[in-house]
Amino acid sequence: MEQQCVGGCFDFKVTGITAGSSVKTVLLLGAPIPAGDFFHKNIVYRKKINGAWKDFDTSSGDFYASAPAVSTNPLTCPGPGSFAYGSGINAGDRCLQLTIKDGGPNDADGAADGTVTDPGGIGVGASVVSTIADPSFEGGSVIGGSGAIGWGALAGLFALLGFRRRKTLH
């Protein structure tokens, strides 16, 4: 991930729940969730478990949802379980609801012991960068994800299209 903890890192512990059950927790983000674009596609909730960052695992029924704040002064989130939360992580939202099963893949302590531990935050994926060698381009290469191609390649493409068109007309 290019950037961890957009809107803040969180490290919380929920205790006193029935062992093995799921708990909904609401996090107020310090900044709005950024919009994804071509260069930053992967916006996910990330967990730090055993010293390593990994994506939030939704394969076992855990999930996350986001919502706009319900008030701005003070900044307040809808309560856990509110219908205001939309599935996934949505641009511009300030509130994130996590549903985590005690002992499941997103419980950092890994034990179904009535306690859910969650160090984590929103991560934004790295930029897409490519290098294309092209001797007709004065710099020798083009860097970026914009799809730039050299003049020689463009001329070859037009020649190929013209040849195909002429062949179709005869």
In angstroms, the CA 76 to CA 105 distance is 29
> Cα 131 vs. chain centroid, distance in angstroms?
24
Considering the domain architecture, whether residues 114 and 146 belong to the same structural domain is answered as no
Considering the domain architecture, whether residues 165 and 99 belong to the same structural domain is answered as no
Tell me the DSSP string of 52-100: EEEEPP-TTS-EEEEE--SEETTEEPPPTT-TTPEES--TT--EEEEEE
pLDDT of residue 117: 94
Considering the domain architecture, whether residues 59 and 110 belong to the same structural domain is answered as yes
Considering the domain architecture, whether residues 120 and 136 belong to the same structural domain is answered as no
- Compute the mean pLDDT over every residue in the chain, rounded to the nearest whole number: 77
108-165 pLDDT per residue, tens: 999 999 999 999 999 887 644 433 343 433 333 333 333 333 444 434 444 444 544 4
- 14 is in which domain, residue-wise? 3-124
pLDDT of residue 2: 62
Considering the domain architecture, whether residues 32 and 92 belong to the same structural domain is answered as yes
Share of the chain residues as helix, strand and coil, in percent rounded to the nearest 5: 10, 40, 50
43-54 pLDDT per residue, tens: 889 998 888 889
pLDDT of residue 4: 77
Q: Which of 85, 104, 83, 103 is nearest to 27 (CA)?
A: 85
